Amino acid sequence: MFKKIIFTVSFVLLSLYGMAQKDINSYKYVLVPKTFEFSKNKDQYQLNSLLKFLFNKYGYEAYFTNDKLPDDLIYNRCLALTADVEKAKGGLFKTKLEVILTDCFGNKVLTSKTGESREKDYQKAYTEALRNAFETYQNLDYQYVPSQDMVIVSSDNKTKSAKQTTTEIQQTTNKVAPITKDFEANTVAAKVEKSEIKTAKTKHNLSDLHYAQDIENGFQLVNSEPRIVMVLLNTAAENVFLVKGKSAIVFKENGSWYYSENDGKLGEKKSLNIKF
């Protein structure tokens, strides 16, 4: 009976391991922020740099969120997982950390084991705990395998699978005629299409997920297209930014971010979904 229980538990663990590896292998990149939620400063204790280094060392392709990103990742942010480090609860006199990977919609894909350290020095404690937690990803034998079911976020904010997108591109390609003497006849239609595209790109929903990228004196907010939605400029007030080119501010209140514009009268604040 005991052997049967051991076999069942082992089978379940191996199945979960296989599922996790299959999931993580569907993603080509890992994005690491320059600041974690519990950090007071950018790259505090060099944890962010260490995490990026470890991912690259063990076969992943990792970038900081404000690095120059590969073209395919710029086109489709869903190719990447975002890495975050959180403090685990419990453990008096211990530093406990977990490394969490989320997809482009904020869904958790995999959480590492809890890394621990009893070191009293903060630098040593956080470094040791992070390295211990990372063993989960170190032992996954990661290898990127393109998935036909990978979600692509298109410029019209509709989600499609890679297979659907490939099919649509092929269908569109087959319909495109070579440039001939009919060019002038197609000019009007081309201008209309260009106008429609331009109009579509100017539309923006503040509830969409925005990625904050470091720039000099502030941040730029990028959506999933990716496209720069707005530029935030630092102010003397904590968690309050000026919006470049507008009479507006972005501020944090009760743990949430808001956009407020002053066009001569006080308008209502609008919620913003920002990932720093």
100-108: Cβ within 8 A, 24+ apart: 101/24, 101/30, 103/27, 103/78, 104/77, 104/78, 104/80, 104/151, 104/153, 104/209, 104/224, 105/78, 105/209, 106/209, 106/275
Indicate the helix (H) or strand (E) that contains 243.
strand 240-243
CA dihedral 187, 190, 195, 197 (to 10 degrees): -170
Instruction: Check residue 110 and report its DSSP letter.
Output: E
Q: Are the C-beta atoms of 232 and 241 separated by less than 8 Å?
A: yes
Q: If you average pLDDT over every residue of the chain, what do you get?
A: 76
Q: Which whole number is the average pLDDT over 75-85?
A: 92
Has residue 13 got a pLDDT over 50?
A: no
Q: Which whole number is the average pLDDT over 40-65?
A: 94
CA dihedral 255, 212, 44, 105 (to 10 degrees): 70
**What type of residue is 103?**
D
Give the C-alpha separation, 74 to 224, whole Å. Answer: 8
Give the C-alpha separation, 31 to 235, whole Å. Answer: 27
pLDDT tens digit sequence for 95-148: 999 999 999 888 999 999 999 999 999 999 999 999 999 999 999 889 998 865
Beta strand 270-275 with 209-215 is: parallel
The pLDDT assigned to 207 comes to: 61
Of the given ranges (30-39, 123-132, 153-162, 262-271), which has the lowest mean pLDDT? 153-162
The pLDDT assigned to 164 comes to: 54
The pLDDT assigned to 163 comes to: 53
Confidence of residue 184 (pLDDT cuts 50, 70, 90): very low
pLDDT tens digit sequence for 196-215: 434 334 344 566 788 888 88
pTM of the model: 0.51
Has residue 150 got a pLDDT over 60?
A: no
Has residue 185 got a pLDDT over 60?
A: no
Has residue 86 got a pLDDT over 70?
A: yes
**What type of residue is 43?**
D
* Residues above pLDDT 70, as percent of the chain: 67
Instruction: Check residue 14 and report its DSSP letter.
Output: H
Give the C-alpha separation, 162 to 151, whole Å. Answer: 6
Secondary structure (3-state) at 66: coil
The pLDDT assigned to 42 comes to: 92
- CA angle, residues 52, 105, 39, in degrees to nearest 5: 40
- For 77, the token pair is 């942010």
Where in 20-164 does DSSP place strands (E)?
A: 29-32, 62-64, 80-87, 95-102, 108-111, 115-117, 151-153, 159-161
The pLDDT assigned to 275 comes to: 86
Has residue 92 got a pLDDT over 80?
A: no
For 141, other C-beta atoms within 10 Å of its C-beta total 9
Q: Which whole number is the average pLDDT over 54-69?
A: 94
The pLDDT assigned to 35 comes to: 93
Q: Which whole number is the average pLDDT over 82-96?
A: 87
pLDDT tens digit sequence for 211-258: 888 888 888 988 877 788 889 999 888 899 998 888 889 999 888 999
Helices and strands (H, E) in the chain, number of each type: 6, 15
Q: Are the C-beta atoms of 241 and 230 separated by less than 8 Å?
A: no
Best CA proximity match to 81, nearest among 117, 108, 113, 45? 108
